[in-house]
Amino acid sequence: MAPSIRLSPAARSLFDEPLAIAVQGLGPRQQVTLRTSLRDETGQLFQASAHYQAGDDGELDLARCPALPGGSFSGLEPMGLLWALQPQRPFWYMVKRDVQSPFLLQLEVFEGHGERPGRLLAQAQHERAFLRDGVRRVPVREGRIRATLFLPPGEDTSPGIIDIHGVGGGLFEHRASLLANHGFATLALAYYQFEDLPQQPNELHLEYFEEAVNYMLQHPQVKGPGVGLLGFSKGGEVSLAMAAFLKNIMAVASLNGPVAVTMTPLSYKDKSIPTLTLYEHKAKTTNSKILDYSDVPEDPFQAPGNQSLIPLEKAEAQFLFIVGQDDRVVKSEYYATEVCKLLQAQGKENFQILSYPGTGHCIDPPFFPLYPIGNHPVFHKRAVLGGELRAYSKAQVHAWSQIQAFFKKHL
C-alpha cells in the first residue's frame, strides 16, 4: 500500500479549528519528514517541517507520535505543523484580506530526516476557511461608518461585537469572520486609511465609534440591550475609551491595549484626551540590532494627575484584559494590573486579567503565525514585538476560547 495522508476534517476546516493529521502505508518505524506550506494573498510562502518515525504498523498519527528534534518543533504537538508556519521572507506578517476565499494548505511527506528533502512519498491539499456555511458577509456603508458585518446563519438574533484593529489603518476582517462562525454578529470596523476615511487623523472622535454602536443596536439580528467590543492594541485603547464615555457597552476584551491614550488624541463632545509623551531616546538596541521600544512611552501611573489615562472608573462594562508578558510595544501586563488596582480602590470588581508568558504584542486567533519582529507603528523602524513560538501558540488557543466565553457570559 502506497503511503497516503489522512486528514480530519478531510477537505476543508475553519482556520481556527484543529486539524487531525495522520500518514498511513509507511514501513515499520520508517523515518519521514512532514512539511506544510501555505502562500498568503501576496504570494509570500510560509512553511513548517518536522521529523517523525512511524509506528511498528507503519502508521503515523500526529496526535500520538512526538516530533523528533531537528524540525520546526519537537515533542507531541498535533497542531505543530500549523502553528509553526513561518514566513520564508523575514519579518512578514500573514494577512487575510479576502475572507471569502480559503487559504490552501499543502502537506508533503518526504523520506528520511536529511538536510534536503528526500523522495516525496505522499502529498495532500486542504482548505483553511474563514467562513462557515451560512455565515453572511455584509459590507456596511451607513452614514460615516466603513465596516463589514458578519452574521451567523439563520434569522435569529445574536450577541453583537464590534472588532477594532490596531495601528496600520484599513479594514481587517479575519478575526470578525471567525467570531461569526461561533455565533456572534460581528462588525469589523475601519477607522482610518480606508476608502474615504481620513488617511492620518489628527484626532479620533468617539462619535464615529458611537455611530457604529448605534448601527449595531438598531440591526434586527443583533440581540440588545448592548454590545461587546474586541480591540487589539490601539483598538483596545479605543474600546476602553468607548466604555468610559459611551452608553450600551456591556463587555470589552482588550488584546494588549494601552489604558492611556497614545499616538492620536481622542475626543468626545467637548472633552479631549491628550496622548502620552514618547521618549524616543529610551529605545534600546537588541543584539540583533533591532530596536526595543518598550520603555519609550511615559508611565501614566507615575505622573500625578496624568491627563492621558482613560477614566475607566466611569465605565459600566465588564473588562477582560488579555496581555502578553513579552509585549515589547505596550507594557500591557503592567498597564492592566495598575488600572485594575485603581478600579478595585473604587470598589469595582468588573475586570479580569489573562496574562500569557512568552507572548508578545500580536495576539491573533489560533494558528496564525508568530510575528515577533515588525515595523513600529509610530517610529516606522524595525522593532521587537515579542513572543516565543510554542508559548504563543498555546496562548492563542486559550485566549480565543476565553474571549468567546467572556462575551457569551456578558452579552
Residue indicated by cell numbers 435569529 = 156
The distance of Cα 305 from the centroid of its chain, to the nearest Å, equals: 33
What are the backbone angles phi and psi of residue 331, rounded to the nearest 5°?
-80, 65
Residue 288: per-residue pLDDT:
78
pLDDT at 115 over 90: no
Residue 304: per-residue pLDDT:
75
What are the backbone angles phi and psi of residue 408, rounded to the nearest 5°?
-65, -35
Residue 26: per-residue pLDDT:
98
Smallest CA-to-CA distance from 195 within 219, 171, 217 is with: 171
pLDDT above 90 coverage of the chain, percent: 92
Residues annotated as catalytic (active site), given as ranges: 233, 327, 361
Mean pLDDT, residues 313-341 taken together: 97
Residue 375: per-residue pLDDT:
85
Residue 228: per-residue pLDDT:
98
In angstroms, the Cα distances linking 46 to 89, 157, 285, 385 are 8, 38, 28, 19
CA pseudo-torsion sign 61, 63, 65, 66: positive
Residue 381: per-residue pLDDT:
86
The distance of Cα 388 from the centroid of its chain, to the nearest Å, equals: 15
Residue 289: per-residue pLDDT:
83
C-alpha span between 221 and 124 (Å, rounded): 39
C-alpha span between 298 and 110 (Å, rounded): 53
Mean pLDDT, residues 258-285 taken together: 94
Quickly state the pLDDT bin for 182 (edges 50, 70, 90).
very high
Quickly state the pLDDT bin for 306 (edges 50, 70, 90).
confident
pLDDT at 161 over 80: yes
pLDDT tens readout for residues 340-368 = 999 999 999 999 999 999 999 999 999 99
Mean pLDDT, residues 300-329 taken together: 94
Task: Locate the domains of the chain by residue range.
Answer: 4-129, 136-410
In angstroms, the Cα distances linking 229 to 197, 337, 347, 348 are 21, 20, 23, 20
pLDDT at 256 over 90: yes
Q: In whole numbers, what is the pLDDT of the chain averaged over residues? A: 96
Quickly state the pLDDT bin for 230 (edges 50, 70, 90).
very high
C-alpha span between 229 and 217 (Å, rounded): 13
pLDDT tens readout for residues 89-114 = 988 999 899 999 999 999 999 999 99
CATH number of 136-410: 3.40.50.1820
| C-alpha cell recorded at residue 337 | 494590573
C-alpha span between 57 and 60 (Å, rounded): 9
C-alpha span between 277 and 84 (Å, rounded): 37
DSSP assigned state of 195: T
Residue 174: per-residue pLDDT:
97
Residue 124: per-residue pLDDT:
98
To which CATH superfamily is domain 4-129 assigned?
Acyl-CoA thioester hydrolase/BAAT N-terminal domain (2.60.40.2240)
Quickly state the pLDDT bin for 287 (edges 50, 70, 90).
confident
pLDDT tens readout for residues 42-86 = 999 999 999 999 999 999 999 999 999 999 999 999 999 999 999
pLDDT at 377 over 80: no
pLDDT tens readout for residues 20-48 = 999 999 999 999 999 999 999 999 999 99
Residue 378: per-residue pLDDT:
79
Quickly state the pLDDT bin for 331 (edges 50, 70, 90).
very high
CA pseudo-torsion sign 212, 217, 223, 227: positive
Which ranges in 315-379 belong to alpha helices (H)? 332-345
Model pTM score? 0.96
Residue 303: per-residue pLDDT:
78
pLDDT at 262 over 90: yes
Mean pLDDT, residues 102-127 taken together: 96
